[in-house]
Chains A and B, each alone.
Chain A
Amino acid sequence: MRRRQQQQQQQRQQQQQQQQQQRRGRSLSGAVGALCRALPPRARPAPDTLRCARFDRPQASLDFWRLLYALLKQIHGRKWTESDAIDNQIRFVKAALWYYGYDRPELYRLPSDGSAGSRELLLAFSWLLHRISLLEQLLARNRVKTGDETSVCTCEDGLPNSLKGTTEKAPEHGLEGGVDVRYLQWLNGRLRFQWRSLHAQHEEQCKLLHKIHLFTSGSHVDQILGHFSVTETDLVRQPENYKQLLQLLESETMQLEAFLEWKQLEPVYWQWMETVLDNMAEEGNTCESQDARVEGSGLPKVASCCPWADSLTGQIDKLSRDLTTLREQLHKLTTRRKAAWCEKVKTREEELQKEGFSATARKIQESVELKLLDLTYLCAPPQKRMHGSHRLVFRNKHPASKMGFGRSVSKEPVSAVSATEVIRELQMTEASLERELKQLQEECRQRLDEVAEGLDGVICISP
């Protein structure tokens, strides 16, 4: 009797386990499928690739490298060419993973023809999912733009990085016989003219944009936006031109729904990834002794040149120089002020005590601490900075006017940045850039003055 009960129990347990496995299997395939569908259409893997990778099948490696390349390039926002050779792609992916702090040596040892290592890539992919919120970033970056977009940061403007490459290559293409300096002057003038006309065009565009926003206020179904953008206005006139936009919107909606599905099934995926680690740990035990020898000659080799480290060391040096100068200036100023203060206070000590200066002093201390809190807050990341392209929305500040509407501040599902903030930041950036430019010009002036002394019989009077 008992044995039958036990048997029954065992059977039930087995059934349950089987069911669980089936369920897990189904939910795993659901999770993997949802994950794949939540990735952008240009870089969407087949769920099979991930499954093959889990078993370290070499045929999935190439696809996985390409997948990682496509995804990372989209995040980095630069133009990406699918026609890049596979070893370039691999190098890029390795460098990007290193950049984000993925320090698993096995990945960097993978061959650069993409023939092996799909399991390692799967691990790296999963790590990226978490570390840089890969899905969310991709969704945010590839958002279908139906509005008038403008970027709120000037990150892409800093050219110096891209210049470095050209400075190294340039000396080979020296022009024969040199170039007339007046050509340089002429080019410079033309450049300035182009900037000016660009300014004019921007103003023009600004005006028209504002008009369109103003005139269509109140028409949009979306209360938060309130008015149409140029695209939407044109859409009203000629809907047949915008079929592609509609398709994009639809496909994005499907992607978002896949994302929601993924969020539900996430635990299954992470558990699955843990099993991958388990497997690797088992395998690793058997060939650990081999690795130990290889490890010695493995990763920590002193790289001959690391351009990133050089450039950052340069930046750090510059910053530390600036900080040191600032410190000296502060020191001088403080000692001077302190001395003056002591002088003043010496003579009036009793007087101050009577006035109850110590109480005021404490209050002043508190207020100063508050003032400097900004700085300490800044020093401790994370700090929220605005990035990327935003949709321009016109919000009239006077809700009384016919076209304006009251701002519902309560539950706005938007990260609305106000133009005043952006303007303020831009003004600060502008000021610091102008200071930098003036510094450079000053340096040139000094050096040219020295040259001038060498010129016989000529005095240079600067304007």
Chain B
Amino acid sequence: MAFQAEDLNLEATELRLGLPGTKETEQQKTNNKRALPVEPESNASSAPKPPPSKAQVVGWPPVRSYRKNCFQAKNTDGESSGMFVKVSMDGAPYLRKMDLKVYQGYPELLKSLEDMFKFKVGEYCEKELGYNNRSEFVPTYEDKDGDWMLLGDVPWEMFFTSCKRLRIMKGSEAKGLGCAV
């Protein structure tokens, strides 16, 4: 079990100070591979980037969901930490997280989903109880009972308090659920 010097490949683990953009950052990037979701390009060149947004790394800090939920419930003032739910889209390699608190209603939420995942779902049409666009995508959410519900059926407040996660369904699974067509 001897650790031979040549096996250690010391250069690979050599620690150096350096500005971002030098080799050291390369190594960090390797560590980083699938850690953090890609941020939208909006203000790429503006002043110091915030640290990899803690809120966006799923499951970090490693705090039990029970505890997280307790504190989210407690933060009712302006400094609220938000109500983050996971968002998945069928076919996408990784999930995202969204803060439902920043939205006032369905139209905003849907627009945001469309921007985030680059798809179109159209508008929820009450008369037809579904989405009237011929999109193959249907926005759904999982409620407290573990059931998958169509986004938009219930009043926003009710949705907000019962939504555990979002899922953009596509293809055959979506048929019969949201398309009035």
A and B: real partners?
A: no
Report A's interface with B, CB cutoff 8 A: none
